Structure 1
Amino acid sequence: MSEACNHDCSNCSANCESRAPQHEPPHAKSHIKKVIGVVSGKGGVGKSMTSAMLAVSMRRLGYKVGILDADITGPSIPKLFGVHGPATGTDDGINPVKSRVGIDIMSINLLLDDEEAPVVWRGPVIAGAVKQFWQDVIWEDVDFMFVDMPPGTGDVPLTVFQTLPVDGIIIVSSPQELVGMIVGKAVQMAQMMHVPTLGIVENMSYAVCPDCGKHISVFGESHVDETAAKYGLPVLAKMPIDPELAKEADAGMIETFAGDYLDGAAKAVAALLKK
């Protein structure tokens, strides 16, 4: 529910004034060219993994990249990259932590004394932390900032869309038919906030038999193509269940994974600089 509304904005078509973007400037020393939100309508579909791999793909293309981990209560970006806090800062602002290949990262886990301590905060406080990551962190020179959002269409996604000048979103889904409805919610929220959707990435699309190479639909047949067609969106990637990727991620070595599953998504993101 928006602050100035008395109804659930996520289920209405009204042009609520409180939902109109009121973008806030980043830190005075930040230079950010494009902001891409990575979203999902539900948890457990691999949104953070997709955010991390997209960042790595763009870095390999030679771009300067940052990740703002907006999933305050479930931060996993530092784990994927094997980075640890505490993040440092001065009177001017907070400095992001750099990964092995130079990706700038800011996450609540980089500010906690105990990385496993739960963040038990209410929605407005969580939303305030996301705003601080945008306004108080010095993102010195970033071509592409990926915002890893929590699942759903609640406080934090609304805060991101209203506060940050999001240039586009990528929706992460999985093969189950149920996810089609969830994707629809994410697409419609982006439309309400006047943010373009770049496309859909389907994660856990299939597994490859190590003996014969056959593709096995572990979670049933994919419905992503029909869902994408319904909303006029491209399918940017169909990522398999890859044990090697899981191994590298668990070890905090996501940057060493050699897979090219997200090359199509990376091209769609790179094209934003030409607009």
Structure 2
Amino acid sequence: MSRKVVLIILDGMGWKTARTLLGNVEGWVEKGDASVWKMRATLPSVSGPCYASIHSGVTPQEHGIVDNYKEMKTDVADIFSEARKAGRTTAAAAHSLFSSYFQRAPFDIYRDLEVDDESLPIQHGRFYTMRGETKGNLAVPAEADLFAQAAIMIDRHQPDYLLLHSCTVDSTGHRHGPDSAEMDHVVYVLDGVLGNALPRWLDQGYEIMVTSDHGQSPRGHHGGTTDEMREVAFYYFGDGKRPDAGVVLDQLQIAPTVLARLGVPPADSMRHPSFLT
């Protein structure tokens, strides 16, 4: 049986931040309506490489995205490409790097910022660039706006797979550190938006996965091998058979798991098994 899936990536939210500050999400875990596992990010634990690994199921050394500065379309199979081959509908509200990696590159702000094109891998897209970011202006979209864009696409197009990617936590961590009053506030606001959006999408028949690409060190850094940089939470709202709570998941399992829930065979290059059955 095929399901519809929303994957939410909360950029830069490490394991500790998620488990201590996401009160709404943790409330569903406590109630038994969601499950959570620890997940280890790929290396380097940098946004671009992790975005590509989450969606392709292969390492940065294989897909070729090894930093945040290479704007290119990957040549490996990914969730969007395999879902489209199987006739599924796709959508994304996310940073423009996702468009570059999985849609077309380079990103053209006048062509690619808003997309509704049935011929593309990401058929319905609402992207943001964060161009002009400074210490005084993080240039991130408000979570309320971003989640509303995703909700509108769900209402209009009923995509089988929707990616929602938020950068506020990562940007705040770089500017103020992950253990700061500023971080407390942005996660509080984000958790409230999640608290309103998740029941809406569950009622519309979606399974929901909430995770992050990487964590951060106390100095707001990531890219390396420490647990603070690599360990993130993975939350699941759905009826799939789940692994034990103590199992540590691998980020490379996300792509085959999402495709399995969509009822789509994983690509041969996705060597890690789905963790939901």
Shorter-chain TM range is 0.3 to 0.5
Q: Which has the higher contact order (CA 8 A, sep 6+)?
A: 2
The structure with the largest helix share of the pair is 2
TM-score computed with the length of structure 2 as normaliser? 0.37
